[in-house]
Amino acid sequence: MFDPYGKTNAVRVTNTPDGLAAPHTLKQFYAVGETLILGPDVIEVQHNPGNYGKYEFYRMARIVLRETNKRLASWTVYRQEEEWDIATEEEYSGYVLRHSAWNLEEELTTQAWRYEIGPKVITATIYLNDQQCRSIAEHGQAVDRILTEGIAFQSREELGDPPWDEISILRSFYWGLIDNTWSYTCGNMKCEDTLLHLAEAIEGTIKEAQLHGLSKVEQMVMHYNSPYPEVAHVLYK
C-alpha cells in the first residue's frame, strides 16, 4: 500500500511544496539570482548545424563565494567525463567554463526586485578545447588531491575583516560527489587557497579567450534543475 508519509509520532501529517513567491518579491528575485549563480546541471554543446557535433557536458566542479547581502559569485567547469585529463585525440572533448557574479548589495540598495524581472547577474559561458585549459586541469588536480585526502577544519584565531562569508566546493567524481560548504569562522587555508587558485584560473582563461577572440559553436542548451518553482516564470519563457 502506498504510504507518502511514513511513520511519525504526529497526530496529523501533511506533505506540501514550498509556496510559490509572487512576482516582484525579494524571494523570487533571490531564487532566480541564486539559480543563475549555481548554474545549469548540464550544458549541451552543438558544434555544427544539424545534429552533428552535439555533446553533453556535465557539471564537474563548482566553487561558490558568498558575502552576505553583498556579493555572490561562482566558477564552474563542465566536462563530458569527470576527469581533468587533457584528451588531445578527441575532437570535441574540451571544457565548458562558466563564471557568474552578482552585485547583491547594489540591487538590495535600489530594491531592484520591485521593478526588474530578474537580477543583474553577469555570466560568461564558453566552450574551449583541451589545450586552452591546461592550467585549469593542473589547478583542478591540485584541488582533487586535497579533497580525496580529506579536509580538516580549524577555527580562525583572528577573523578581522573576512574577504568572504562562505565558500562552497562541489566536485563530481566517477565514484561519487563531494559537496562541502563552510563559513570563514572555521576553515582550512590550504584548501581555500587551492580553490581560489582554480577560480582565478577559470576566470583568467575566460578573459584571455574573450580578449583573443573565440571560435563559435552553433548552440548551447542550458539544462537547469532548480529547486525553486519561482525560477520557471523568469528563466523558461
Assess if residue 6 is contained within a domain. Answer: no
Mind listing the pLDDT tens digit for each residue in 119-145? 889 999 999 988 889 999 999 999 999
Q: Which domain holds residue 46?
A: 26-232
Instruction: Look at residue 216 and tell me if it is in a domain.
Output: yes
Determine contact, residues 198/206, Cβ cutoff 8 Å.
no
What is the rounded CA–CA span in Å between residue 117 and residue 220? 23
Q: 3-state class of 114 per DSSP? A: helix
Q: What is the pLDDT of residue 216?
A: 85
Task: Report how far residue 195's alpha carbon sits from residue 105's, in angstroms, rounded to the nearest whole number.
Answer: 24
How many domains does the structure of the chain reveal? 1
* Count of beta carbons in the 10 Å neighbourhood of residue 213: 7
Q: What is the pTM of this model?
A: 0.89
Classify residue 68: in a domain, yes or no. yes
pLDDT for residue 74? 97
Q: What is the pLDDT of residue 80?
A: 92
pLDDT at 187: 84
For residues 185 and 12, give the distance between their C-alpha atoms in angstroms, rounded to a whole number: 40
Task: Using 50 as the pLDDT threshold, list the residues of the chain that sit under it.
Answer: none
Q: Which residues of 123-150 are buried (b: 16+ CB within 10 A; e: fewer)?
A: eebbbbbbebbebbbebbebbbebbeee
- Residue 69 in any domain: the answer is yes
Please, are residues 217 and 127 in contact by the beta-carbon 8 Å criterion?
A: yes
User: Residue 177 is inside which H or E element, if any?
Assistant: strand 176-183
Which pLDDT belongs to residue 92?
66
Considering the domain boundaries, does residue 77 fall inside one?
A: yes
19, part of any domain: no
In a domain, 116, yes or no: yes
5 in any annotated domain: no
- Residue 49: the pLDDT is 79
pLDDT for 118:
79
E strands of 69-141, at which residues?
Answer: 71-79, 95-103, 121-128
Per-residue model confidence (pLDDT) at position 72: 95
If you compute the radius of gyration of the chain from its CA atoms, what whole number of angstroms results?
A: 20
- Alpha helices, DSSP H, located in 39-182: 104-110, 134-149
